[in-house]
Structure 1
Amino acid sequence: MTTVLITGATAGIGAAFARRLAGEGHDLVLVARNEQRLGEQATELHDRHGVEVEVLAADLSEDKGIEAVEARLRDPARPVHLLVNNAGFGNKGRFLEVSMADELKMLKVHCEAVLRLTAAATEAMRERRRGAVINVASVAAFVPRGTYGASKAWVVQFTQGVARDLAGSGVRLMVLCPGFVRTEFHERAGMGTDNVPGWLWLDADKLVGAALRDLGHGKTLSVPDPRYKAITGLMKLAPHRVVSRASSTTGRKYGPK
């Protein structure tokens, strides 16, 4: 029996990870801001799958919240074998339309929290010579699209760099880069999605299944869908100027209204 800690666990991709891993018999530590939703989710997963589910209410945009999760990850009496850094959010608006406070909050959650929690988890995992971390980024990491894309690009580069540094230690790291996924993400940010073509949408449960298979195969980067694999492949081959122009055009067509 292993224990998995998931941030942003009450909805979307985080909740899909929780369902899948509980179904496979893993005990869980669920992290999110809403303690009531965490409690309801924990009860449901425990009753359905018979696993132990611990809840930790923490706001990862604040030092206090990050410190609470760091302490849980470092607890030698209750080792965590897989960390899923999934917490994140979007801001509606272009640069200078979003407040600086919200931009800095995004960097705190997407970058600083991921850095600190990955460090806390991998320190303990390296001592045991066993463990894994999945950091959730986005295909937005591969295009120039403001603070969100930049923060997710940092997650991609950071995760792959740490994976190389810890190669041979028994600790695996992988960054997951999904595209549009039907979750609460856009609704929470006040973003309309009626203009997003149906073929671009991914199912969270299928996404998680593909991501876990990629982790099992030792991949450090997972783009778990043929459609988005093709899109990101083309973006890597195209000149930067072309990608930038296409990103701006696509953002106006399919981005939040």
Structure 2
Amino acid sequence: MRSTALVTGASSGIGAEFARQLAARGHDLVLVARSVDRLDALARELRAAHGIEAEVIGQDLASPGAAERVAAELEARGLTVDLLVNNAGFGTAGRFAEIPAERERDELMVNVVALVGLTHMVLPGMLARGRGAVVNIGSTAGFAISPYFATYAASKTFVLNFSLALWSELRGSGVKVLAVAPGPVETAFFDVIGSRQAAIGAKMGTPAEVVTAALRALDRDRGYVVPGRGNFGMAHLMPRRPRKLLALIGRRVTRQVADALTVPAR
């Protein structure tokens, strides 16, 4: 019997690439995002290419009770999740006081609340079966103090610490947990933020590189992975500095983003 993977934010970018690589590995899929038309097209593509089953659930994960609605839909369709990929997320950048409060709320609902809710939804069943995995997509920003990315970076710090805590807690249970912390990636992320300057001159990775590194790390039960040698080095140098000094250095590096930014509607 094939295992079933649920991927959030599967309509584009890293989420769509997870769906493609998991389908190539023989996983059936549940694809979750707001853009049902895109999900339907991807589901048709992957069914034809790999002979797998692919279900689509349209859901805005920023809305209260989103995880519970996804759980109810899974139960109604008789679906069991063996691998959860919490990929959905977005960022805000700029001066915190100038970013609409509702946008920051939506960011935390997607990046943190829905991620925790979906993990809570699938974990009891995985533990009862003695197998399963949860992959949470964070960011190298989760290792840093990032002025002008305050809410986004803090949300990704949560993802990293939450994931590693569960990885440790569940050792020996048969259930794996992995945090993935990519640097800048060629996706729509920077279009949503409103400026490609948010990459701060870093070399862009590709969704394929991120997902390949993530699945390799999951196979090895690594706990977390930072794809790319340059990203790995930066992520692990930053926490070694005094926290207030790091915040001040971060302000000098990221202020150019705030100066250039316009904040689009989500």
TM-score w.r.t. length of structure 1: 0.93
Quote the Cα distance in structure 1 between the aligned partners of 2:51 and 2:107.
35
Quote the Cα distance in structure 1 between the aligned partners of 2:71 and 2:197.
35
Q: How does 1:86-235 map to 2 (within 5 A)?
A: 86-145=87-146, 146-193=150-197, 196-197=200-201, 200-235=203-238
Instruction: Give the deviation of 1:92 after TM superposition.
Output: 3.8
8 Å contact kept, 2:200–2:254: no
1:25 aligned residue: 26
Instruction: Give the deviation of 1:77 after TM superposition.
Output: 4.2
C-alpha change, 1:134 and 1:119, in structure 2 (3 Å) is same
SS in 1 for 2:165: helix
8 Å contact kept, 2:93–2:257: no
1:48 aligned residue: 49
1:39 aligned residue: 40
State the one-letter code of the partner of 1:167: R
Quote the Cα distance in structure 1 between the aligned partners of 2:75 and 2:126.
9
Quote the Cα distance in structure 2 between the aligned partners of 1:144 and 1:236.
9
8 Å contact kept, 1:74–1:124: no
Instruction: Give the deviation of 1:6 after TM superposition.
Output: 0.2
SS in 1 for 2:79: coil
Instruction: Give the deviation of 1:173 after TM superposition.
Output: 0.6
C-alpha change, 1:194 and 1:108, in structure 2 (3 Å) is closer
RMSD: 1.9
SS in 2 for 1:231: helix
Quote the Cα distance in structure 2 between the aligned partners of 1:48 and 1:3.
17
SS in 1 for 2:194: coil
8 Å contact kept, 1:58–1:66: no
Quote the Cα distance in structure 2 between the aligned partners of 1:117 and 1:215.
19
Quote the Cα distance in structure 2 between the aligned partners of 1:195 and 1:181.
9
SS in 1 for 2:62: coil
1:243 aligned residue: 246
Q: Percent identity?
A: 39
C-alpha change, 1:118 and 1:183, in structure 2 (3 Å) is same
8 Å contact kept, 2:82–2:126: yes
SS in 2 for 1:91: coil
SS in 1 for 2:52: coil
State the one-letter code of the partner of 1:231: M
C-alpha change, 1:232 and 1:95, in structure 2 (3 Å) is same
Instruction: Give the deviation of 1:73 after TM superposition.
Output: 5.6
State the one-letter code of the partner of 2:82: H
Unaligned stretches of 5+ in structure 2? 262-266
* Residue deviations 1:164-220 (CA, integer Å, cap 9, x gap): 2222211111111111000011112322349743x5211110111011111111111
Number of residue pairs aligned between Structure 1 and Structure 2: 256
State the one-letter code of the partner of 1:245: L
C-alpha change, 1:171 and 1:195, in structure 2 (3 Å) is closer
8 Å contact kept, 2:142–2:157: yes
TM-score w.r.t. length of structure 2: 0.90
